[in-house]
Copies of this chain bind each other. A is one copy, B any other.
């Protein structure tokens, strides 16, 4: 009864609308200050501060102090994955919104998931990389193949795992209900997409919008 991991504690942290909005905003991957998060959540600064310290206590956030600025970010990809999973359920059972606006359509196609790409494009990319045997997939395990290593290296993408973080990880996509690529490789690919100017981040949103040329380039490189 009161055994096992305390999932109620974690869930109740996310269960407050103000905190949920903050976490949602942080799903974009960039760390934000308390003021920015207060604005995002629509609460006063003291209220936001209180929420943030609770999220910190709960282990859901990390804090990077830089002078008088304090940047809050999601604690780990695992936390991001959990939030994605909750979003997925909320989408599935939630009151179907009258009509999905254009922003939603863009989100469905491509968006940022913490630090990597998600959405239809990302799911298609993982499928393709597996088809081409650049990645080897077994259930939820994804590994880099030798040919994959040289392939990404040729693209200027580092695939050595310096940290403890895995190079490849499967992350469930709420809009497509299938996995896309996370891990350091997933993050590096998103970096490249932005660096090459193939796409830009939509302001105040997780949506990632490809330019016509950028989409072609992306498809040529990652969708064969």
Contacts and interface: CB of A to CB of B under 8 A. Distances in A.
Contacts of A4: 24, 87, 174-175, 177
B42 A20 contact: no
Interface string A15-45: 1110111011100000000000000111000
A82 B14 CA distance: 13
Size class of the contact patch on chain A: 35 or more
A76 interface: yes
B81 A6 contact: no
Contacts of A175: 3-4
Nearest to A1: B42
A58 B15 contact: no
Contacts of A40: 1
A2 interface: yes
A79 interface: yes
Interface of A: 1-17, 19-21, 23-25, 40-42, 58-60, 75-76, 78-79, 81-83, 85-95, 97, 104, 107-108, 172, 174-175, 177, 204-206
Given A83-B7, A85-B82, A93-B59, A2 B24 contact: yes
A7 B59 contact: no
Contacts of A60: 89, 93
